[in-house]
Structure 1
Amino acid sequence: MTTGVRLFKIDSSNQKADAVSEIDFAEVGFRERRDIQEWIADNPGILGEDLLVIAKEFSGFDKTDERADLVAIDKDGRVVVIELKRDDTGSDVHWQAIKYASYFQNVAPDSIARMLSDYREISEAEAVAELKFYLDVDDLDLVNHDQRIILASHRFAPEVTSAVIWLNQKIVAETKIVAETLITCVQLTPYRDSETDAYFIQSSTILPIVGTDEFTIRLGSGRSTPDRTVSGGPVKKEDDITRLLRGAALAALDGLPAELTPDKKSRWAGVGDGHRYFHVWFTDSPWSNWGMSFQFMLFPGPTASDTEIITCFKCEKDLLMNAAGLTKEDVGGIKTIIEGLSLFPDQEIKEDNKWLELKVTSRGNPEDPDFKSSMTDDLRTLIGAITPKIRDLVDDMNQQ
């Protein structure tokens, strides 16, 4: 039974295209662990993405002897459980992989580093350095913040694909983010060239199914719409907006003294009502990503040059009082602090029943270096001016 994938060998000397025969792995003696697993461990790009393999045949779970074929980290820092089947998945490979992924839900980043250390036979310090380099981060807070699954096989049983489609749709419906795919199915189709006895693998991601919007031309008015919309549907986490806002935030932090540098940051740009946002904050209470933080907010305009960036210090008052234990008087003290600051000619102080914020709004093209620099400067100014005063206020509160 063929999969519908076709491979042809081109003979340019006589302008011929000869079909290369699809085969089964079993037909020529290729095995799941001895062969397919080793190929992917050596070159995980076979699965269609940049992965860092951290374990093979991993069985270090405390209450079961089960073994995960391969374990990797993706560029978002998620643990990826990779389950391999040779020519047919059977009807329950997805359940097997879900179990393994669940076993990793509470594994700490330092344990992930130890797994890589054991697998690569390098020191833990070298493993930590390799993870930081791969993820392009300064710490390992991002590591194993979530888990996902890749299933790879020549053919997939309908019991598997039906379950995968349903689970992925539930995840996307809940998060509104396309990148939140729990399970990816990669079809590995083997071929043999009978003339040269050479073997080939065609790798195709069959689930999730790529949307058709980017391939479709529609009738349009040819006019820009002034509505502020980030996209017509779910958005990816690790996209250009995340990279823009994260980059500007990190540049701002680089210019601050160590004692004034927030030690927490968003993993990606969140999705708000018509905008995207990115936070930085401190570990210490009463700071938190929503309770009290510094934030970029990006509102797309009709053109790139009309992009609106709000740089702000923002507090959710109820969260500060209910979760951080501040009183109304304490929140009033924060308001007094920001009212006493004159940082920007066009700064605004906004307060309603929920929020208290000091913000400055700018418009321009985020790809313009001068505009990017002004974003960075605005955030650095806010952090440098507000942080010492909030710390003084907290010290006074603690002494009472």
Structure 2
Amino acid sequence: MFRVDLSQNRLSRLSQKRFSDLNLRERDHLQEWLANQPDALGEELLIIQKEFDGFDETRERLDLLALDKDGNLVVIENKLDDSGRDVTWQALKYTAYVSGLTKTQIVDIYQQYLDRYSGGGNAAVRICEFMEVEELEETVLNPGNDQRMIFIAANFRREVTATVLWLLGRGIRAQCFKVTPYSFDDELMVDIQQIIPTPEAADFMIGMSSKENEEKAIQNTQKKRHQLRLDFWEAALDQLRADGVTLYQNISPTKDHWLSAGSGTRSCPYQMIFSRDEARVEISLQRSETAENKWLFDQLYGQKEAIEAAFGAELDWRRMDDKKASRIVYAQPFEGFNREAWPDMIGWLAAHIQKLETAFSGPLSRLNPHVRSQDEIA
């Protein structure tokens, strides 16, 4: 690996190191790096526990336990300079142990992690945010035999790679990541590369397990909710068009609990939200860079008094410092799953999405030159 010196137009070779030479430890260093930056493994993962030892009749500990975007549990085993001979056997045991975890147990495990390592928070809410659903009952966590294994080491022994390839050939999802430390002067860098399977390899399909009945029931609930939302948005859009509301005139109904329309500022849509307990209108600042979202939020918050006067009510300003996005929200309680409540709900949404557009169109247009300049830089 090389460092590019643009001022001299030259390459400088980085010095490859061993973790042991750098006095770096598996638990104190590599594990912490991955726990705080799990997307270093090439995908969005939610770390729900570390040093997990909640197995019946054994005190063994797995390094990291995570959820992927499909709700699958991911067992992550970290080694340093050498994978060792027994890492696959360890991971197989841990994966077998966690395969029977229920949704309630997973939420409890994550809650313990948040309370111990992250200063608290609501585990169910954070899982919903990660899974991009409105309510926990819409999710399937730890489905079937879809548990996964990730092995991390600087070097892998042949018996380990042979076993992982054998597992892959039988539909068990396992990955090997090679992690290599480099130094340049006082800087320390780490290269993390997936070596098995290659990133281009196709995903492996795995069958259903003993939790099939529970999963089918949840899937049926999902289908009903999706149809309910589709019906609601069809009715809402028909009414908005009848009322002459043009903001959503080119938008089609969806099965999602939200419906977005452009605000004139890229990745900052106006949104109407339909849920079981309430209706919401909001502007969502969801640009690719966290700093841009927080800058936009702060600029708008500086005009809070004028914006709320134009809107006609106090808004809920959610900067959400621990998240990439920020939101500005106005909500009203409704029985969303009661179709008889829909006319009032739709009328409320139509009135308040127009008020939201009126309140924010001017401030956003004045901020647009800065936003566009950032887009050009990107």
TM-score by length of 2: 0.52
Q: Which residue of 2 aligns with 1:328?
A: none
Q: Does 1:164 align with 2:160?
A: no
Q: Can you give the 5+ residue segments of structure 2 that lack an aligned partner in the other structure?
A: 207-221, 233-254, 256-378
1:202 pairs with 168, 191, 208, which one?
Answer: 191
Q: Which residue of 2 aligns with 1:252?
A: 227
| Residue-by-residue CA offset, 1:292-338 (whole Å, 9 max, x unaligned) | xxxxxxxxxxxxxxxxxxxxxxxxxxxxxxxxxxxxxxxxxxxxxxx
Query: Cα distance 1:28–1:149, how it changes in 2: closer, same or farther (>3 A)?
Result: same
2:136 pairs with 139, 153, 158, which one?
Answer: 139
1:120 pairs with 105, 114, 117, which one?
Answer: 114
Q: Secondary structure at the match of 1:71?
A: strand
Q: Secondary structure at the match of 2:59?
A: coil
Query: Cα distance 1:33–1:252, how it changes in 2: closer, same or farther (>3 A)?
Result: same
Q: Does 1:191 align with 2:182?
A: yes
Q: Secondary structure at the match of 1:66?
A: coil
Q: Matched residues in 2 for 1:33 and 1:255: separation?
A: 48
Query: Cα distance 1:61–1:234, how it changes in 2: closer, same or farther (>3 A)?
Result: closer
Query: Cα distance 1:248–1:8, how it changes in 2: closer, same or farther (>3 A)?
Result: farther
Q: Work out whether residues 85 and 153 of structure 1, in 8 Å CA contact, stay in contact via their aligned partners in 2.
A: yes
Q: Does 1:61 align with 2:55?
A: yes
Query: Cα distance 1:234–1:61, how it changes in 2: closer, same or farther (>3 A)?
Result: closer
Q: Matched residues in 2 for 1:235 and 1:27: separation?
A: 38
Query: Cα distance 1:234–1:199, how it changes in 2: closer, same or farther (>3 A)?
Result: closer
Q: Secondary structure at the match of 1:188?
A: strand
* Higher radius of gyration, 1 or 2: 1
What does 1:327-338 correspond to in 2, within 5 Å? none
RMSD: 2.8
What letter corresponds to residue 165 of structure 2 in structure 1? I
Report the Cα offset of residue 211 of structure 1. Answer: 4.1
Q: Which residue of 2 aligns with 1:39?
A: 33
What does 1:6-21 correspond to in 2, within 5 Å? 7-21=1-15
Q: How many residues align?
A: 213
Q: Which residue of 2 aligns with 1:149?
A: 149
Q: Which residue of 2 aligns with 1:89?
A: 83
Q: Does 1:182 align with 2:180?
A: no
Query: Cα distance 1:80–1:253, how it changes in 2: closer, same or farther (>3 A)?
Result: same
Q: Matched residues in 2 for 1:101 and 1:124: separation?
A: 27
Report the Cα offset of residue 163 of structure 1. Answer: 0.8
Query: Cα distance 1:207–1:135, how it changes in 2: closer, same or farther (>3 A)?
Result: same
Query: Cα distance 1:114–1:234, how it changes in 2: closer, same or farther (>3 A)?
Result: closer
What letter corresponds to residue 202 of structure 1 in structure 2? D
Query: Cα distance 1:48–1:234, how it changes in 2: closer, same or farther (>3 A)?
Result: closer
Q: Matched residues in 2 for 1:103 and 1:25: separation?
A: 30
Q: Matched residues in 1 for 2:106 and 2:228: separation?
A: 27
| Residue-by-residue CA offset, 1:247-284 (whole Å, 9 max, x unaligned) | 99865331458xxxxxxxxxxxxxxxxxxxxxx9xxxx
Query: Cα distance 1:15–1:86, how it changes in 2: closer, same or farther (>3 A)?
Result: same
Report the Cα offset of residue 74 of structure 1. Answer: 0.5
Report the Cα offset of residue 105 of structure 1. Answer: 1.2
Task: Name the one with the larger helix percent.
Answer: 2
Q: Matched residues in 1 for 2:29 and 2:6: separation?
A: 32
Report the Cα offset of residue 164 of structure 1. Answer: 0.4
Q: Matched residues in 1 for 2:189 and 2:150: separation?
A: 21
Report the Cα offset of residue 202 of structure 1. Answer: 0.4
Query: Cα distance 1:234–1:27, how it changes in 2: closer, same or farther (>3 A)?
Result: closer
Q: Work out whether residues 168 and 174 of structure 2, in 8 Å CA contact, stay in contact via their aligned partners in 1.
A: yes
Q: Work out whether residues 154 and 179 of structure 2, in 8 Å CA contact, stay in contact via their aligned partners in 1.
A: yes
Q: Secondary structure at the match of 1:89?
A: coil
Q: Work out whether residues 82 and 151 of structure 1, in 8 Å CA contact, stay in contact via their aligned partners in 2.
A: yes
Q: Secondary structure at the match of 1:253?
A: helix
| Residue-by-residue CA offset, 1:103-159 (whole Å, 9 max, x unaligned) | 011111111111111101179981011111101133344111131111111111110
Q: Matched residues in 2 for 1:149 and 1:103: separation?
A: 13
Q: Which residue of 2 aligns with 1:72?
A: 66
What letter corresponds to residue 104 of structure 1 in structure 2? V
Q: Work out whether residues 127 and 136 of structure 2, in 8 Å CA contact, stay in contact via their aligned partners in 1.
A: no
Q: Work out whether residues 48 and 203 of structure 1, in 8 Å CA contact, stay in contact via their aligned partners in 2.
A: no
| Residue-by-residue CA offset, 1:182-224 (whole Å, 9 max, x unaligned) | 211111111011x3x1100001000112448xxxxxxxxxxxx
Q: Matched residues in 1 for 2:193 and 2:66: separation?
A: 19
Q: Matched residues in 2 for 1:21 and 1:211: separation?
A: 29
Q: Which residue of 2 aligns with 1:274?
A: none
What letter corresponds to residue 156 of structure 1 in structure 2? F
Q: Secondary structure at the match of 1:41?
A: helix
Q: Which residue of 2 aligns with 1:227?
A: none
Q: Which residue of 1 aligns with 2:93?
A: 99
